[in-house]
Structure 1
Amino acid sequence: MRITGIFGNLLCQIRLLLFIAVCVTIVGWTNFYMKDSTRYTPKYRTPVENFWKSPLSEKKTEENSQPPLVEQTSQKEEDLKICPILSPNLQGVVPLMFPPNLTLADVEKKIPMMRNGHYQPETCRSQQRVAILIPYRNRERHLLYLLDNLLPFLQRQLLDYAIYIIHQAGNDTFNRAQLLNIGYLEALKEENWDCFIFHDVDLVPENDYNTYLCDSEPKHLVVVCNATNYNSVYKEYFGGVTAMTRKQIAKVNGYSNNYWGWGGEDDDLYYRVQLGNMTVVRPAREVARYTMISHTRDVGNEKNEKRWELLKNVSKVWKTDGLNSCTYELLSIEHNPLYINITVDIGKPHN
């Protein structure tokens, strides 16, 4: 009986020790998993959790400072993408339209995407920011035709651009070159434009592969025109529509301010380009084609009889006659849907 009692007590002790060991083991494994489980806890909330959480009531902690979703990142990169030099929207030769009853309201309806004379492509960032400068007086019909055809042309090229109309007030002799200087100076007060297109109001481009972007050298965009049966005028011709960067314009000091009336200022600019150690580049004649809207000579824009004398002295005066000597009275600036109208008084010829 005594031996049986001893074995009974020993068995109870063994059971007690086994129970204690099991308890210790369970507690140990529990602590281990509780500590190690932090490795598998997500650092950020899921999008659904954040959707229902008010950002105004939520404290800014590491837990809820979730990084942007993949879709948002992709959209941001899409916004920053540079537009191609040759847009996929180009159509080549597009028939030009000159409806006799065209109104400004008609053009505005056709081009609803412009705001305050400015347009930006929605899908990409333009290669350059382009200011189109148009010297103007008493050419409303020509301006309507140009806007009606040119604005869709520019948008197909995916350009970030603005249209500046530089309007000479009064009836004194017209000065195209000085108006272009003024347009350049005033446009830079609004935006840091990369490229400037000096554009006559009566010239309409025929082929949208003729890109309105500046080049490494001053660029002449009118290679041939219907008014000359699409034959080149002369080798040094640098008029009608030209494209220059800010650096190139600074090198030549802009246009001369002394050409009152028709003729001479474009040849003067060509000489300035040479004096600035630059050369004129041109697109292929197959794409650099223009239609000139027919018109008679304007009153106040008769041929400049002094142009030949002025051209002889370009090398002597180009550094002092230009942007740095351009004086004018700014009368008004109006931001219309399709263009920015700058009205100025430039006076009359000094002699």
Structure 2
Amino acid sequence: LCLPELPATTQGINLNKLVKMSPVMFNDQNNELYLLFLFVSFIVLIAAYFFSVVFQLGEDTFNRAKLLNVGYTETIKDAEYDCFIFSDVDLIPMDDRNLYHCYDQPRHFAIAMDKFGFRLPYAGYFGGVSGLSKKQFLKINGFPNEYWGWGGEDDDIYNRITLNGMKVSRPDVRIGRYRMIKHERDKHNEPNPQRFSKIQNTKNTMRKDGISSLMYRVVSVKKYPLYTNISVEIGKPPPRPLKG
């Protein structure tokens, strides 16, 4: 995807090839609505775009970060991209000044969601929508593969960024505003009880857990004019330790 020429005010932005990807459960009911909103939004935001939507097949626990690793790996098989935007499927940008491009530092776009009262919930938050250049993504070994269930993976990614000598950049809080499509949490996306201990151990795990250790099986790839659906099997979470 070749982006159009942007105004000179976009200093610090890498104007290269960009792909946007979202991880979803196979039976997610928000996908068509989300793509409709994003189709309109991207006409304003960057004028040219391409989506990859990664579907996790089966009934096992959801793994957001691993699906994003899959999206990266599968997307670069078709073309050479320089910039990757990783977005949850239920978030809609509210301000067309929030440009989806890669910057000199890893970018956190969704800093002010309606569910958090349009404020950043805490300084190390990196969830929702983020952007990394290919160089930045590979420097942190991609995202962790071992966060099964809700929570923790975005904090692990933030740790990877800072441990590798980078800083998170963000838009102004008035610009990085998002609304969330209302929905119930999927039954296969319960909170991960191990997330807090894993976050504390990022320094020891990030070199062996990430894009370098990614394993999955592609079941189908369906290409449409504006986006590609990638359906995959990503395995099962390890058994949780018995209590007591």
Same fold at TM > 0.5: yes
Match of 1:297 in 2: 185
Q: Does 1:308 align with 2:230?
A: no
Letter in structure 2 aligned against 1:83: E
Deviation at 1:316, TM superposition (A): 0.5
Distance of aligned partners of 1:236 and 1:161 in 2 relative to their CA distance in 1, 3 Å threshold? same
User: 1:224, 1:290 within 8 Å by CA — same for their partners in 2?
Assistant: yes
**Is 1:127 aligned to residue 49 of structure 2?**
no
| TM-superposed deviation, 1:85 | 4.2
Query: What is the percent sequence identity of the aligned residues?
Result: 39
- Aligned equivalents of 1:258, 1:136: Cα separation in 2: 17
- Aligned partner (choices 269, 272, 276) of residue 164 of structure 2: 276
Contact 2:4 2:46 in 1 (8 A): no
Could you tell me whether the CA contact under 8 Å between 1:133 and 1:197 is conserved in 2? yes
Offset, 1:151 = 1.4
Q: Distance in 1 between matches of 2:166 and 2:82?
A: 18
Once residues 60 and 176 of structure 2 are traced to their aligned partners in structure 1, the CA distance between those partners, rounded to angstroms, is 34
Cα drift, residue 160 of structure 1: 3.8
Q: How does 1:76-155 map to 2 (within 5 A)?
A: 83-85=5-7, 127-138=15-26, 140-155=28-43
Structure 1 residues 247, 152: CA separation in 2 closer, same or farther (over 3 Å shift)? same
After superposition, give the CA deviation of every residue in 1:49-91 in whole Å (9 maximum; x if it has no partner). Answer: xxxxxxxxxxxxxxxxxxxxxxxxxxxxxxx99511479xxxx
2:131 to 243, 248, 253: 243
Task: Show CA shifts across 1:128-156 (max 9, x none).
Answer: 22111100114644222221111122122
Q: Which residue of 2 aligns with 1:234?
A: 122
Measured after TM superposition, the shift of residue 164 of structure 1 is 0.4
- Segment drifting more, 321-330 vs 336-345: 336-345
Unaligned runs of 5+ in 2: 240-244
Secondary structure of 2:204 counterpart = helix
Match runs of 1:123-272 below 5 Å: 127-138=15-26, 140-272=28-160
1:300-351 deviation line (CA, Å, top 9, x unaligned) = 1100001011112110110111000000011111102332010110110123
**CA positional deviation for 1:172:** 0.5
Tell me if structure 1 keeps the 8 A contact 2:4–2:47.
no
Amino acid aligned to 2:178: Y
- Relative to structure 1, is the Cα distance of residues 291 and 139 closer, same or farther in structure 2, using a 3 angstrom cutoff? farther
Contact 1:85 1:127 (8 Å CA) reproduced: no
Question: Which structure dedicates a bigger proportion of its chain to helix?
Answer: 1
Which one has more relative contact order, counting CA pairs under 8 Å at least 6 apart?
A: 2
| TM-score, length-scaled by structure 2 | 0.91
User: What letter corresponds to residue 166 of structure 1 in structure 2?
Assistant: V
Q: Give the root-mean-square deviation of aligned CA atoms.
A: 1.9
Q: Hey, what does 1:59 align to over in structure 2? A: none
Change over 3 Å in CA distance of 1:189–1:85 after alignment to 2: farther
Q: CA deviation at 1:275?
A: 1.0
Q: How many residues align?
A: 234
Which blocks of at least 5 consecutive residues in structure 1 are unaligned?
A: 1-79, 88-125
Q: 1:287 aligns with which of 163, 175, 193?
A: 175
